[in-house]
Chains A and B, each alone.
Chain A
Amino acid sequence: MEDRCKTVQENLAVWQEEELPLEIRQQCDEHIAQCSRCRHAAEVQREVSKALRRLRQLHSGITPPPSLWRNVSKELKRRESHKQRMVQWQAAFASILAACLIIGGVWAKLNHSSAFPAEQTLQNYRQWYNSQSEPVYESRDPAAAAKWLSDHLHASVLPIDLSLSQAKLNGADVVQVGGVKMGRLLYLSGTAHLAIYVSPAHTEFRSLNKVTADGNKMRETSDKNHFTLFAWAANGDGYAVVSNAYNECETAAVDAERQTNLP
């Protein structure tokens, strides 16, 4: 086959179409005018294409059954409402999830591992007060008691000396208060029984409603037996002083708070 014939045959399909670059089209036109074989091949292409288009014309009267569009439309509607339902479900699910997160967040904040269980501390004091049991570790030395507590709580506990508040240490023990392991120091000041609760890392209070002379915040709460609790956070630990006597309790709390808040 001649080179020109080859070019023409390769482009036969599109010979008459706009798609062929003008240059090649002109080359084909020139060659076809001279070469009868290529002329015939081109003719076949054009004729068959024309015949097929005529056939297409004959088919133009064929219409799809009306049920076809109805079915399509029905299916599209079904899918649309399904999608809308999905969106609604997703929205509902998202709001439920958000609500859970909020509730969970509040719950977690209340029950946070770093929350100081003030109410349960008061309760623990009440139980102790009713039994007046002796502390496990008996000592009059605040430093020794602090060391004993440090060993048992696996945390560093500061010594709290309440001699300036006229309270004498009796000893220390370790108690479980509201699921939290705490150190408890027992003091006596006249007829007032004082207990200082030390809770490493439990420093959060629902509210702090009292301000000391130094500007530090405290929580004060009392129960119907007139037991009073003063609690505060200092240097990453939570503290509470609880007593059956309000004045002694307040004095001891201010004293202890100063010692724990030393820089």
Chain B
Amino acid sequence: MRFFEKSKRKEFEKLAKPYMKPLYQAALRMTRQREWAEDLVQDTLIRAYERMELFRAGTNFRAWLFTILTNNYLNDCERGRRRPLTTSFDVMGADGSIWEFPASEENDPVAVLMTHVLEEQLQNALDALADEFRLAVLLVDMEEMSYQEAADALNVPIGTIRSRVSRGRFQIRQYLGKQSEIEMR
């Protein structure tokens, strides 16, 4: 990209800085661990800088960054370095006991937000999804990526993404339904 040859770093910083916050929020949603999220964002921005030549001008820079973020996250999981705080929805216990909100540091603003009474269950339902459904739902419903962009980020056909998103939403609804049944008892 000729545009970046003048001062590649400065141009990149100007372009990337506004995405710092959405990237961080997305990383938190993926990992639910602050330290891991910070590492993810840092790796993502550095990798993006190193690969700036691969970014095609005129395409969505935000989606490109999110694709790198998603890949970094999946790489971390694959290498077994870290584990997201999720379990497959299918193995959910009837009493919901294994869905305890993951312990966070006290006075953590993230934790405070996420433990918001009404949203907590939704958050738990989201976290209960298997990673393949969870990532599809996160990218489409929360990171505002198009189905095509999400398909590119996860390197699967667009039809797969559509089905994962709809199944993920169903499972969330199902989980919330069961929770309310438990509460009503």
Question: Interface on A for B, CB 8 Å cutoff?
Answer: 9-14, 17, 19, 41, 44-45, 47-49, 51-56, 58-65, 68-69, 71-73, 75-77, 79-80
Contact = CB atoms under 8 A, between A and B. Distances in A.
23 contacts: A13-B163, A13-B169, A44-B170, A45-B169, A48-B169, A49-B169, A52-B137, A53-B141, A55-B119, A56-B25, A56-B142, A59-B114, A62-B25, A62-B110, A62-B113, A68-B20, A68-B24, A68-B42, A69-B20, A71-B42, A72-B20, A72-B41, A77-B9
Contacts of B146: 19
Nearest to B159: A10
B73 interface: no
B9 A14 contact: no
A59 B29 contact: yes
B26 to A, nearest CB: 9
A201 B124 CA distance: 89
B63 to A, nearest CB: 15
Contact of B9 (A10, A13, A69, A80): A80
B76 interface: no
A71 B26 CA distance: 19
Nearest to A51: B122
Nearest to B167: A13
Contacts of A64: 20-21, 24, 38, 41
Contacts of B62: none
Contacts of A17: 147
A52 B46 contact: no
A238 B5 CA distance: 57
Contact of B46 (A10, A19, A72): A72
Contacts of B172: 48, 52
Nearest to A64: B24
A47 B137 CA distance: 13
B12 interface: yes
B28 interface: yes
B178 interface: no
A52 B49 contact: no
Contacts of A65: 38
B173 A58 contact: no
B162 A11 contact: yes
Interface of B: 8-9, 12-13, 17, 20-21, 24-25, 28-29, 38, 41-42, 45-46, 49-50, 109-110, 113-114, 116, 119, 122-123, 126, 137, 140-142, 146-148, 161-163, 165-166, 169-170, 172-173
A65 to B, nearest CB: 7
3 tightest A-B CB contacts, nearest first: A13-B166, A64-B24, A48-B169
Contacts of B41: 64, 68, 72
Nearest to B113: A58
Given A13-B163, A48-B172, A53-B141, 16 more contacts: A13-B165, A13-B166, A14-B162, A41-B170, A45-B170, A47-B173, A48-B170, A52-B122, A55-B122, A58-B113, A58-B119, A60-B25, A62-B25, A68-B20, A68-B41, A75-B42
A110 B178 CA distance: 93
A76 B123 contact: no
A47 to B, nearest CB: 7
A59 B170 contact: no
A243 to B, nearest CB: 68
Contact of B38 (A54, A68, A77): A68
A9 B38 CA distance: 38
A190 B148 CA distance: 103
Contacts of B24: 62-64, 68
B61 to A, nearest CB: 16
Nearest to A69: B20
Contact of A14 (B46, B119, B147, B173): B147
A13 B162 contact: yes
Given A13-B163, A49-B169, A63 B42 contact: no
